[in-house]
């Protein structure tokens, strides 16, 4: 490959110069991505300090990075920095570690194993929604966080939301706030592992939170190992899994995967469900169509795994919600060798970003993109679009291993809750998405509950 680099069009100066512009605040990456796409089209670049940053919004280029030329990329530094919490889990590890980890972990996410959790999902959705009252106003974002935490506790640890689970949740949240601080001040990461106290409040808070988190998770792993029993949960399966050569996961590796599953499977689904209820509250025709399907399929009873294939419109509602508000709103890679994307030649060390949020709101692929229309996800409509116009769970060899679980959880939870309740959004302004680790609502999402008759 030629040593002459040919970059896509983009900002002529390093990003910090533009950080004073209202559309390129470092804390608002979506606004930056929107600007780049609006101004430069399907591929653009800028520099952060001396590092080339390539922003891609073209399905063919996304395929090149995630699939065709995947061997030329590793996780970019923002994700690798998450190792402060997740160690060498599936989200943060690179090959060959990632290949081995995924091979060992895969049985825990086998379709038959995941299917066994359907009853736990429905049971949790029923328990939570049965506590609601007619006319009550609830923060649906907080309610879905509580529901998803319950489901995660039951399926990952075979337990209810105990003090241990709450502590894991609290410490993970604390550490992720510090993670956001490290993104803004990356040199601070170097002091995390110093063997002595440092006069930096957030660093010391991180150390305390991580120590408490490790203590709880390590104890739960030890208790599962001691019992020697398959409790039917994901942790039991992780302990029992082994590689082709008979090797198993160490306690440290299990800890990393437990926290990866906890983070990836808990907040993402909760946010996806919260946005779903908001969108349904604003689109009564889609809501009515959803209720009609649920009543026809369930006849007032609780959903089961056998009903899942028949809840097609419910799945389309969930898919359209994740198109507009994808919980994983962007993903990144770093080139380890020179790469070519179409006419562009880009050196090793460049960072490539692809935003699910931006590509799935692009009018070229989704006419009238801000309109909520679950019929965009009929089989015929999906087949009419390029593959990489919708990838809420990533793609290629690193596609989310828990995707099938997330779809089942979302569809069954929606079916159970919507069979009983209709929701009315009570705030005077639309919710504002906040792009952190996941795409969460910035503020509370107040919903007034109306009990509906079950057909």
Measured in degrees and rounded to the nearest 5, phi and psi for residue 286 equal -65, -40
What is the tens place of the pLDDT at every residue in 72-87? 998 876 666 677 777 7
Q: Confirm if 387 and 63 have CB atoms less than 8 A apart.
A: yes
Phi-psi label, residue 359: left if phi above 0, alpha if psi -120 to 50, beta otherwise:
alpha
The alpha carbon of residue 420 and the mean position of all alpha carbons in its chain are separated, in whole angstroms, by 27
Closest CA to 65 of 76, 78, 77, 51: 76
Number of domains observed in the structure of the chain? 1
Closest CA to 415 of 327, 306, 298: 298
The alpha carbon of residue 369 and the mean position of all alpha carbons in its chain are separated, in whole angstroms, by 21
CA separation (Å) from 337 to 73, 211, 238, 340, 347?
Answer: 8, 37, 34, 10, 6
4 in a structural domain: no
Burial of 13 (C-beta count, 10 Å sphere; 0-12/13-18/19+): exposed
Phi-psi label, residue 43: left if phi above 0, alpha if psi -120 to 50, beta otherwise:
beta
The alpha carbon of residue 107 and the mean position of all alpha carbons in its chain are separated, in whole angstroms, by 21
Q: Check residue 105 and give its pLDDT.
A: 82
1 in a structural domain: no
Q: The CATH number of the domain where 293 resides is what?
A: 1.10.630.10
CA separation (Å) from 25 to 31, 64, 235, 278?
Answer: 8, 29, 41, 27
3 in a structural domain: no
Spatial separation of the C-alpha atoms in residues 353 and 345, rounded to whole Å: 16
Closest CA to 282 of 367, 358, 364, 370: 370
2 in a structural domain: no
Q: Check residue 91 and give its pLDDT.
A: 75
What is the tens place of the pLDDT at every residue in 219-229? 888 888 888 88
Give the 3-state secondary structure of residue 10. Answer: strand
Spatial separation of the C-alpha atoms in residues 174 and 227, rounded to whole Å: 31
Spatial separation of the C-alpha atoms in residues 171 and 165, rounded to whole Å: 10
Angle at which helices 201-227 and 163-184 pack, to 10 degrees?
140
5 in a structural domain: no
Spatial separation of the C-alpha atoms in residues 351 and 186, rounded to whole Å: 16
Enumerate the H helices of 158-299 as residue ranges. Answer: 163-184, 201-227, 234-240, 251-281, 284-298
Q: Confirm if 431 and 441 have CB atoms less than 8 A apart.
A: yes
Cis? peptide before 143, omega within 30° of 0 = no
Half-sphere exposure (Cβ direction) of 19: Cα atoms closer than 13 Å: 10
Could you tell me the end-to-end alpha-carbon distance of the chain, in angstroms, rounded to an integer? 65
Q: Check residue 142 and give its pLDDT.
A: 93
87 in a structural domain: yes
Q: Confirm if 336 and 348 have CB atoms less than 8 A apart.
A: yes
Q: Confirm if 127 and 154 have CB atoms less than 8 A apart.
A: no
Contacts of 62-65 with CB under 8 Å at 24 or more apart are: 62/354, 62/359, 62/388, 62/391, 62/395, 63/387, 63/388, 63/395, 64/339, 64/341, 65/333, 65/341, 65/352, 65/354
Q: Check residue 436 and give its pLDDT.
A: 80
| Each residue's pLDDT expressed in tens, for the chain with a length of 455 residues | 446 788 999 877 665 544 445 444 445 788 889 989 999 999 999 887 788 999 999 999 999 999 999 999 988 766 666 777 777 777 777 778 788 888 888 877 777 778 888 999 999 999 999 999 999 999 999 999 999 989 988 888 888 777 888 888 887 777 777 666 655 555 555 555 555 566 667 777 777 887 888 888 888 888 888 888 888 888 888 888 887 788 888 888 888 888 888 877 788 999 999 999 999 999 999 999 999 999 999 999 999 999 999 999 999 999 999 999 999 999 999 999 999 999 999 999 999 999 999 999 999 999 999 999 999 999 999 999 999 999 999 888 888 888 999 999 999 999 999 999 999 999 999 999 988 878 999 999 999 999 987 64
Tokens representing 448 are 């007034």
Q: Check residue 20 and give its pLDDT.
A: 42
Which residue range forms the structural domain that includes residue 31? 10-451
């Amino acid at each position: 490959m030629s040593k002459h680099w040919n970059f896509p069009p983009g900002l002529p100066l390093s990003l910090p110069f533009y950080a004073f512009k209202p559309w390129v605040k470092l804390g608002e990456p979506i606004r930056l991505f929107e600007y780049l796409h609006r101004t430069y089209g399907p591929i653009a670049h800028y520099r952060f300090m001396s590092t080339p940053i390539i922003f891609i919004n073209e399905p063919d280029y996304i395929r090149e990075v995630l699939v065709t030329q995947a061997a030329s990329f590793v996780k970019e530094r923002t994700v690798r920095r998450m190792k402060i919490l997740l160690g060498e889990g599936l989200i943060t590890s690179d090959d060959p570690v990632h290949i081995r980890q995924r091979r060992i972990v895969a049985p825990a996410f086998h379709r038959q194993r995941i299917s066994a959790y359907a009853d736990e999902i429905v049971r949790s959705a029923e328990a939570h929604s049965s506590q609601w009252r007619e006319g009550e106003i609830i923060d649906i974002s907080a309610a879905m966080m509580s529901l998803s935490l319950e489901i995660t506790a039951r399926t990952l640890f075979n337990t209810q939301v105990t003090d241990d689970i709450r502590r894991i949740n609290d410490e993970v949240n604390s550490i992720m706030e510090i993670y956001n601080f490290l993104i803004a001040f990356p040199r601070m990461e170097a002091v995390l592992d110093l063997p002595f106290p440092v006069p930096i409040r957030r660093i010391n808070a991180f150390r305390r939170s991580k120590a408490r988190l490790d203590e709880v998770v390590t104890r739960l792993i030890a208790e599962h190992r001691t019992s020697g029993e398959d409790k039917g949960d994901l942790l039991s399966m992780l302990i029992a899994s082994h590689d082709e050569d008979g090797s198993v996961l160490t306690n440290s590796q299990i800890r990393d995967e437990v926290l990866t599953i906890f983070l990836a499977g808990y907040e993402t689904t909760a946010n996806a469900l919260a946005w779903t209820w908001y969108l349904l509250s604003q689109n009564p025709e889609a809501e009515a169509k959803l209720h009609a399907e649920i009543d026809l399929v369930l006849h007032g009873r609780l959903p089961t795994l056998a009903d899942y294939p028949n809840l097609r419109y419910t799945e389309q509602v969930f898919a359209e919600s994740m198109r507009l508000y994808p919980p994983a709103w962007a993903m990144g890679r770093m080139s380890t060798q020179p790469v070519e994307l179409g006419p562009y030649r880009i050196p090793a060390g460049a960072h490539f970003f692809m935003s699910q949020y931006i590509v799935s709101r692009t009018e070229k692929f989704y006419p009238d993109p801000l309109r909520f229309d679950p019929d965009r996800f009929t089989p015929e409509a999906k087949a009419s679009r390029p593959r990489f116009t919708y990838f809420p769970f990533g793609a290629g060899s690193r596609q989310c291993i828990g995707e099938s679980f997330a779809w089942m959880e979302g569809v069954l939870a929606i079916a159970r809750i919507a069979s009983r309740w209709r929701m009315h959004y009570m705030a005077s302004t639309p919710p504002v998405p906040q792009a952190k680790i996941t795409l969460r609502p910035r503020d509370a999402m107040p919903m007034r509950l109306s009990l509906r008759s079950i057909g």
